[in-house]
Amino acid sequence: MKRAALYLRVSSLDQHPETQLLDLRQIAAQRGYEIVSQYTDRVSGAKARRPGLDELIRDARRGRFDVVLVWASDRIARYVKHFLEVLDELNRLNIEFVSFREQIDTGGPLGRAIVVIIGAIAELERSLIVERVRAGMWRAKLEGRHIGRRPLELNREAILRDHQRGQSLGQIARLHRISRTTVQRVLKQTTSNNQEPAA
E-strand stretches of 29-95: 34-41, 67-70
**Given a cut of 50, is residue 12 above it in pLDDT?**
yes
Say if domain 3-107 classifies as CATH 3.40.30.10. no
d(CA 96, CA 87): 9
Q: Please, what is the average pLDDT of the chain?
A: 83
Do 52 and 41 contact (CB within 8 A), yes or no?
Answer: yes
**Given a cut of 80, is residue 193 above it in pLDDT?**
no
The domain spans of the chain are: 3-107, 156-193
Instruction: Read off the amino acid at residue 198.
Output: A
pLDDT tens, position by position, 24-71 = 999 999 999 999 999 998 876 566 678 899 999 999 999 999 999 999
Which residues are 37's β-sheet partners? 5
Which phi and psi angles does 174 have, rounded to 5°? -65, -40
Q: Specify the fold of 156-193.
A: Arc Repressor Mutant, subunit A (1.10.10)
Instruction: Read off the amino acid at residue 69.
Output: L
Q: What is the DSSP annotation of 80-139? A: HHHHHHHHHHHHHTT-EEEETTTTEETTSHHHHHHHHHHHHHHHHHHHHHHHHHHHHHHH
Highest mean pLDDT among 17-21, 30-34, 173-177, 195-199: 30-34
Average pLDDT over residues 85-107: 88
- Of 59-68, 83-92, 138-147, 181-190, the one with minimum mean pLDDT is 138-147
State the catalytic residue, choosing from 11, 37, 73, 192.
11
The answer to whether 11 is a known catalytic residue is yes
